[in-house]
Amino acid sequence: MMKKTFLFFITCFLLSCNSDDDSQQQFCTEEYVYGLSITVKDAVDNTIITEGLTVTASDGLYEEQLMRIENSNNFFGAGEREGTYIIEVISNDYQSFTSNPIAVGRTEDDCHVITEILEFQLIPN
């Protein structure tokens, strides 16, 4: 009887160690991560520009106007969206700017995007 009990527990143990176990789920935080964080500066005096700008990110047919959160100097966009973006900055007071392609990837655990922190300088008109 002792042998059978021992074998039963060993069998249960081995079955619980099965690598196909669905209990190893990926848990991600509920944090919302932006793929782009952009600071725009004046190329002459290096001051941060936040007013009178339109900052747009496009990835193929996808296009998004980046937003500036109150009391922040940065423009944010591409929330939880990977892709390769071209950034365009337009202002009446500065020459328009178009970036090279910027790749936004995902974290290794595939939970969030990796924020690309960028700074662009605009030349006054």
Lowest mean pLDDT among 14-18, 80-84, 105-109, 117-121: 14-18
Residue 84: how many other CB atoms lie within 10 Å: 12
Show the tokens assigned to 24. 């190893």
pTM of the model: 0.78
Structurally, the chain folds into a number of domains equal to 1
pLDDT of amino acid 1: 54
Instruction: Name residues whose C-beta falls within 8 Å of residue 67's C-beta, 6 or more positions apart in sequence.
Output: 75, 76, 77
Range of the domain at 65: 34-122
Q: Cα separation of 79 and 104, whole Å?
A: 10
Question: What's the whole-number average pLDDT of the chain?
Answer: 87
Is 75 contained in some domain? yes
Dump pLDDT digits (tens) for 109-118.
999 999 999 9
Give pLDDT, residue 64. 98
Q: Is there a domain that residue 15 lies in?
A: no
pLDDT in tens, 70-82: 899 999 999 999 9
What is the reported pLDDT for 117? 98
> Would you say residue 7 lies in a domain?
no
